């Protein structure tokens, strides 16, 4: 679940680990973007989107949204666990800081500077040089596959990213869909390649662990892909098919 198509990287990661998994993709075009909303409003929208997914028999639910994870995980867990395990998504600050060097965290304005993100920095990167970079408009531009707006938002964030940054945390799941465009904008000539840290692979693996499912990438099965747009069954929007992850999901198990 997510407010928008930022759930595609995690869904594709699950599909690669378990080709036999039936997937339910639940997002909220009626209410997105969630970032500018109040925490209470974000939580109400997140609970509705989660309810829609749960109604389709989900065994584990990935909250593939940093903003919802920051503001709504306690309420989601109180509502659904232990029957439905909830897997949150947090910026990959711990592995990024472990690599040393100057770390930048790109995130939505709602996540940047939040107590939640600051606590992660203090807990996992207290000895590291960390710069938080808010990226207004980038998540929305990615959701709508608006190339001009994506380029403008990336350029703005890159201009505010220190030149000596060696590692960049993608603190919004939408950003993983344009990771290579971000890399190209931030990498500096004559410096080592930029290291990017997303969250999709980690949350997919954690979701399988929570339900005792081992990765089985060689499995072949007749699987289903259900798409819920603010609770309504639909097909993958054209914007989702603008990205490699969306095309992969559609090719492996077309929406039914």
Q: Which CATH class is domain 5-89+201-252?
A: alpha beta
The two structure tokens encoding residue 58: 């989900």
Domain ranges across the chain: 5-89+201-252, 93-198
DSSP secondary-structure letter at 10? H
**Who contacts 10 (Cβ-Cβ below 8 Å, separation ≥6)?**
62, 64, 89, 173, 199, 200, 203, 204
Q: How far apart are the first and last CA of the chain?
A: 18
Compute CA distances 164 → 112, 158, 189, whole Å: 20, 12, 11
Q: What are the pLDDT digits (tens) for 65-124?
A: 988 888 899 999 999 999 999 999 988 999 999 988 999 999 988 788 788 889 999 999
Q: Please indicate whether residue 172 is annotated as part of the active site.
A: yes
* Catalytic pick among 46, 70, 105, 172: 172
Compute CA distances 196 → 36, 64, 129, 178, 182, whole Å: 26, 18, 16, 11, 9
Q: What are the pLDDT digits (tens) for 166-218?
A: 999 999 999 999 999 999 999 988 888 899 999 999 999 999 999 999 988 77
The answer to whether domain 5-89+201-252 and domain 93-198 are alike in fold is yes
* Catalytic pick among 25, 65, 96, 229: 65
- pLDDT confidence of 253, banded at 50, 70, 90? low
Q: Please indicate whether residue 135 is annotated as part of the active site.
A: no
pTM above 0.85, yes or no: yes
233, 227 in Cβ contact below 8 A? yes
- CATH topology (fold) of 93-198: Rossmann fold (3.40.50)
């Amino acid at each position: 679940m997510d407010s928008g198509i930022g759930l595609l990287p995690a869904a594709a990661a699950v599909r690669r680990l378990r080709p036999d998994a039936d997937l339910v993709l639940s997002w909220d075009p009626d209410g997105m973007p969630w970032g500018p909303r109040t925490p209470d409003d974000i939580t109400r929208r997140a609970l509705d989107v989660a309810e829609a997914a749960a109604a389709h028999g989900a065994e584990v639910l990935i909250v593939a949204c940093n903003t919802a994870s920051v503001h709504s995980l306690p309420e989601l867990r109180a509502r659904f666990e232990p029957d439905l395990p909830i897997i949150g998504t947090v910026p990959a600050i711990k592995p990024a800081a472990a690599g040393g060097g100057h770390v930048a965290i790109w995130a939505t304005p709602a996540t940047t500077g939040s107590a939640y993100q600051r606590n992660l920095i203090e807990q996992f990167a207290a000895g590291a040089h960390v710069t938080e970079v808010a990226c207004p408009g980038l998540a929305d531009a990615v959701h709508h596959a608006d190339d001009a707006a994506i380029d403008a938002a990336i350029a703005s964030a890159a201009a505010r990213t220190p030149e000596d940054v060696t590692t960049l945390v993608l603190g919004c799941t939408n950003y993983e869909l344009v990771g290579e465009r971000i890399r190209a904008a931030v990498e500096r000539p004559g410096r080592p390649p930029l290291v990017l840290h997303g969250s999709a692979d980690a949350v997919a693996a954690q979701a399988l662990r929570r339900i005792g499912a081992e990765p089985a990438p060689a499995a072949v099965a007749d699987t289903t892909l259900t798409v819920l747009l603010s609770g309504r069954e639909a097909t993958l929007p054209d914007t989702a098919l603008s990205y490699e992850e969306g095309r992969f999901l559609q090719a492996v198990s077309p929406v039914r």
